[in-house]
Amino acid sequence: MPRGTIRVAPASPFFVLLEIRDLHYAWPGAAGDCLAIERLDIAAGRAVFVHGPSGCGKSTLLGLMAGVLVARRGRVSLLGHDWAELRGGARDAFRADHVGYIFQQFNLLPYVSVLDNVLLPCRFSAARARRCSEGPVAAAQALLARVALPPALWPRRADALSVGQQQRVAAARALIGRPELVIADEPTSALDAALRDDFMALLLGEAQAGGSTLVFVSHDDRLAARFDERLSLPALNRAPTTP
- Return the range that interacts with another protein (CB under 8 A); candidates 45-53, 58-66, 145-153, 201-209: 58-66
Rounded to a whole number of angstroms, the minimum distance from the CB of residue 112 to another protein is 6
Nearest to 52 by CA among 243, 233, 214: 233
Measured from the CB of residue 47, what is the shortest distance to another protein in angstroms? 20
The residue within the footprint of another protein, chosen from 21, 82, 124, 242 (CB under 8 A), is 124
Of 5, 9, 54, 88, the one binding another protein (CB under 8 A) is: 88
| Position 215, amino acid | V
Binding track, positions 177-216, relative to another protein; x by CB under 8 A: --------x-------------------------------
Report in angstroms how near the CB of residue 85 gets to another protein at its nearest: 16
Decide: 175 and 93 in contact? Cβ < 8 Å: no
Q: Please, are residues 95 and 66 in contact by the beta-carbon 8 Å criterion?
A: yes
Among 19, 24, 84, 92, binds another protein (CB under 8 A): 92
Backbone angles phi, psi at 43, to 5 degrees: -80, 150
| Coil vs helix vs strand at 14 | coil
129 in Cβ contact with 136 (< 8 Å): yes
d(CA 207, CA 126): 20
37 closest CA partner among 12, 15, 64, 1: 64
* Contact footprint for another protein (CB under 8 A): 1, 28, 59-60, 62-63, 66, 68-69, 88-89, 91-93, 95-97, 101, 103, 106-112, 120-121, 123-125, 173, 185
